Amino acid sequence: MNTDENHPSSSDPSLKRTSSALQLGPRKKATLSNPLILHGRHFGRTVFALCNYPALLTAGILRLEELQNSPIEDYPADVRREHRVFLNLIDSYPGLLDRLTTGEEEDIIHIGEMLGKGASGARGDDTKTLKSAVLEWLVPRGQVVIPPLSRNIKSDRGFNHEVTGALLCPAGLDWSDAATKLSLKSGETAVRGDQWPMFLYAGYEYDPEDPWKGLLRGEILIFGFKHVFTSPSSVDREPKATRSGNAYLHGMKSVTKGSLAYIATQVRFALSSSSVFSRTDTVTDSENFYHSILDLLEDPDESEEVVDLMTWWTRRIFPNSSSSQRDVSKHSALSKIREKRAALQRANANTT
């Protein structure tokens, strides 16, 4: 049975992250016959995509014991993120922690492999379908891409094409400048993962004086998100999670930071000329790109902008899913209750 509408069943430390569980393990073909595999598909798309799951689980169990004597704040930032991912994983799958703590080492490895199969399978499926789907979103409907792009061969994409090159051009560089264009096309100007492309911005416009303006609100991102999560057929329709879409199947009612970083990474790769998604690909530098987006979204100092961004996305993709995301009508009973509660809280604060 098809459980996924999109996919039928079947050295410079600044350039490379240190080894951890939050890096890709070996690629393995996925099947959909195991609930752990199904969970891995959704977890990879929505929480953390580039995981070595056996290592994540093994390290997470050991760390739970260590944390009895030392707080998580004493660990490096990358370890803290890894542990957050581990906690999210065990919280999202009932009974998983018991299975991990009571099982043998080979049981933990097996569970990790099943989750990893799901995550890598979903990533591969999405990479495959977005490869052709993204071509429909490059220009307004009714217009054609000139020169035309192949659906099956990517060598003419990236900086080798005027349209994809403009979308992938790093914010702050001028694609219309002939010298810049030539340097990007030839590879003389190497683009690292943390040099974000123009397609991430609304209207594909970047304001160096206000780099948050329009960031991660580009139209092509919205199309990519709908394609993967609410169904390919929903891209041109009103936001609605179809009954066979991935969001509906997994009870997803809000856009997560991980899902936004995931779609940005997938769309970026689809626009590129690279044919195989790989963390060792220094041309696309996809893993660094993915981490850099998550770094921003998880930065406490950027919380105000991030909350606004995630609310905007959830309203755009799941407009009817959560009452907490909707404005309360003025003069309604609910608004009066909240006003009264706020007044009581202010009064109590003043007395103390």
Instruction: Report helix, strand or coil for 288.
Output: helix
Instruction: Report helix, strand or coil for 197.
Output: strand
What the block records as the tokens of 234 is 């929903």
State pLDDT tens for residues 196-217.
999 999 999 999 999 999 999 9
Give the pLDDT confidence score for residue 228 in this predicted structure. Answer: 95
Length of the chain in terms of residues written: 352
Give the pLDDT confidence score for residue 246 in this predicted structure. Answer: 77
Instruction: Report helix, strand or coil for 67.
Output: coil
The pTM is what?
0.81
Cα–Cα distance between 119 and 49 in angstroms, integer? 7
Give the pLDDT confidence score for residue 32 in this predicted structure. Answer: 53
Cα–Cα distance between 18 and 15 in angstroms, integer? 10
The candidate with the shortest Cα–Cα distance to 270, out of 152, 140, 180, 146, is 152
What residues of the chain score a pLDDT lower than 50? 1-3, 5, 7-18, 28-31, 240-241, 323-325
Q: Spell out the residues 6+ positions from residue 148 whose beta carbon is closer than 8 angstroms to its own.
A: none
What the block records as the tokens of 129 is 């379908």
Between helix 257-271 and helix 303-317 the angle, nearest 10°, is: 80
Give the pLDDT confidence score for residue 171 in this predicted structure. Answer: 97
Cα–Cα distance between 256 and 268 in angstroms, integer? 18
* DSSP label at residue 49: S
Q: Spell out the residues 6+ positions from residue 260 whose beta carbon is closer than 8 angstroms to its own.
A: 216, 221, 225, 293, 297, 310, 313
The candidate with the shortest Cα–Cα distance to 222, out of 137, 119, 307, is 137
Contact present, 231 and 201 (Cβ < 8 Å): no
Give the pLDDT confidence score for residue 233 in this predicted structure. Answer: 79
